[in-house]
Structure 1
Amino acid sequence: MTPTRGTSDPDALLVRNAARRVGLSITLGVTVLVVAVLIAALAVVFTQIPPGDLFSPGTHETVVDIGGLDLIVWGVVIGLAAVLLAGTLSVFVTRRAVAPLVDALRRQRRFVADASHELRTPLAIVDARIQVLARELPTGHPQQELVAELRNDSRALNAVVSDLLDSIDISPDGPVTPLRVGPAVQSAVAAMRALARDRDVTISTVAVSADLAVAVPETSLHRCLVSLLDNAVKHSPPGRSVGVTAFMQRGAVLISVADQGHGIQGISPDRIFDRFARSANAVDGGGSARTGFGIGLSLVQDTVHRYGGAAFVTTTSAEGTTITLRFPRAALT
């Protein structure tokens, strides 16, 4: 249906209003800058000619005598003042310009979070019912393969919703309480041991110093470690192991997850943190697996960067791959 005259798209109206506000801000900023330069120029004139002489009746000609050095000094002062004022105004105008974008991003994150939370429960129920149906089917039933495909689809959809929830993780407004790395590592390993056991993969850890801490929320660090462990387990053949170590190096905390797979293949190691980038050598199919969407490691990198850290591939070869998270060390209170 074509909109009638007088009606407007709410989004277009919002953009127009924002453009008007930004235009008005720029106009006011330029006006203030011009007025400031004029005031500075008049101040130079008044230092040479008393205002009484300048505006006295009957005065037809006034000569301003300014030395070359004075002219250079005043020119530099006015120029620096204009640059400083222009920089201040540009910061103010830029903040006004991006304010609608910030509000739109906030609304988008809130919508994604609400939608994902609302979808999780019904999807979990659907997945549970499919599992019950799969167990009730006798061996050799003609619909057994179809039910298995439905289960895969259900798991894939659950993975997408989980990734959506992870992607809207935002930094807290206040300071983050330092978190001990040791318990966080043990919690992530405990969460992944069942999956590793199903794949005949063991997860081993090295004792972590009790004073090792990072300024990262517990849920964010847990999600990063679980994602790395999940990736390592998927790329580990049966009978192999995944190792987790955490230590301090040059004032930073390093947490490494190493697998004994066949190394990163089919993609450059520098690109594994790109969104939707996938390796093709995972035990479950990797790049072609229906449960792999190439989002997990990208979200890990986003989260780590959010708290001043970095995620990178330490080593990769036919003997395995090691991925490391580096965070600034935090002092325990």
Structure 2
Amino acid sequence: MSGEFTAADASQLRRAAVTVGLRIAVACALMVVATIIAAALYMLYLSGHPELSGTDSSARVYVESNDMLKAMLVAGLGGILAAGAIGWLSARSAIRPLGKALALQRRFIQDASHELRTPLTILDARVQLAERKVPPGSDAARLLAQIRTDTAALSTTVQELLLAATGDHDSPVDPVNVSTVVDAVIADLQDLAGSRGVHLEVKHGGDARVRIQANSLRRAVLGLVDNALNHTPSGGDVTVRTSLVGRDARITVSDTGTGISGIDQARVFERFARTSDAPVGGRRSYGLGLALVREIATAAGGRIDISATGPRGTVMELTLPAA
């Protein structure tokens, strides 16, 4: 089992085992102490009232109260130590299946990420070959260039998954320009918005930089804009605004949809949370997009909020600490 763990995993599992073991040991120790105290009080009471013993046996054994208390104290300490050992062994046994499940999860992510890298590399090579056979500056060339960009972004995402699975994700991150990333996302989604009859635009209100992986920021913005497009009917508008508010960089995504309904707003960013209303066009939602946006924002020290929602549309704000 240890061969599949990273150092962080092993440390986390050890802490969990110690915590569970201590809780079991403390509970058992409290029971032992309570029993000893009750027995000691009862013995002291009987020693002060011999007439209550109710025995007429001619043969009696007299034991000093101090000796009895010492014996009970030793027995109690032994019981506490035994409870601690039992608690530790029980915790180790209980944590072992969790460790195996964590190892299998990481192994799956590692294998899946590794297997995806080769097809993506082949796809990128084929797109490059196709680009050589089309006239430069044509619509086909433009589309092929966008496909290469999307393929590169997907390859970066796969690489991030692989790094996360191996636990090697603590390397320093250079600041990225928010406007540059947002412009790239808007450019990638213009064709999708046009096919749905939605007007998509971006407005910049300041030049902000944040310390986050560029692809992570791209995924967060992509998730917010894609969610807005999914809930905006044909003829509607989706507007993305960037601004610098104090020491925070803010990305605001507003749409002209029907607003959030059929679900508590506090649950919108939970995994697999979906509204009872179907998205525009009947596109199926798994309730993961906004949850991933929140996880990315939280990991970068930021937050995602619903600033407004109603029949005239929804406004979401992604706030990140400016670098």
| TM bucket, shorter chain | 0.5 to 0.7
Q: Counterpart of 1:183?
A: 180
**8 Å CA contact 2:297, 2:304 repeated in 1:** yes
Pair 1:254 & 2:254 matched? no
Query: Compared with structure 1, are the counterparts of its residues 310 and 167 closer, same or farther at alpha carbon in structure 2 (3 Å cutoff)?
Result: farther
Q: Counterpart of 1:307?
A: 300
State the shift of 1:117 in Å. 5.6
- The correspondence for 1:205, drawn from 170, 192, 202, is 202
Unaligned runs of 5+ in 2: 6-12, 23-94, 124-153
Q: Counterpart of 2:313?
A: 320
Q: Counterpart of 1:223?
A: 219
Alignment of 1:1-333 (within 5 A): 105=102, 108-115=105-112, 118=115, 121=119, 168=161, 170=164, 172-210=169-207, 212-279=208-275, 280-285=277-282, 289-290=283-284, 292-330=285-323
Residue-by-residue CA offset, 1:129-184 (whole Å, 9 max, x unaligned): xxxxxxxxxxxxxxxxxxxxxxxxxxxxxxxx99x969948483122111111101
Structure 1 stretch 295-304 or stretch 113-122: which is displaced more? Answer: 113-122
Instruction: Calculate the aligned-residue CA RMSD, in Å.
Output: 3.9
Q: Going by fraction, where is helix more abundant, 1 or 2?
A: 2
**8 Å CA contact 1:113, 1:165 repeated in 2:** no
Residue-by-residue CA offset, 1:6-44 (whole Å, 9 max, x unaligned): xxxx69xx9xxx88xx77xx99xxxxxxxxxxxxxxxxx
- TM-score normalised by structure 2 residue count: 0.54
- TM-score normalised by structure 1 residue count: 0.52
State the shift of 1:231 in Å. 0.5
What is the distance in 1 between the residues matched to 2:220 and 2:250?
13
**2:218 maps to amino acid:** H
Name the SS of the counterpart of 1:314 in structure 2: strand
**8 Å CA contact 1:204, 1:242 repeated in 2:** yes
Query: Compared with structure 1, are the counterparts of its residues 99 and 273 closer, same or farther at alpha carbon in structure 2 (3 Å cutoff)?
Result: same
Unaligned runs of 5+ in 1: 1-9, 28-97, 126-160
Residue-by-residue CA offset, 1:235-294 (whole Å, 9 max, x unaligned): 001011100011122311111111100000111121110100112242023xxx43x111
**1:241 maps to amino acid:** D
What is the distance in 2 between the residues matched to 1:309 and 1:105?
27
Percent of aligned pairs sharing the same letter: 35
State the shift of 1:191 in Å. 1.2
What is the distance in 2 between the residues matched to 1:206 and 1:304?
21
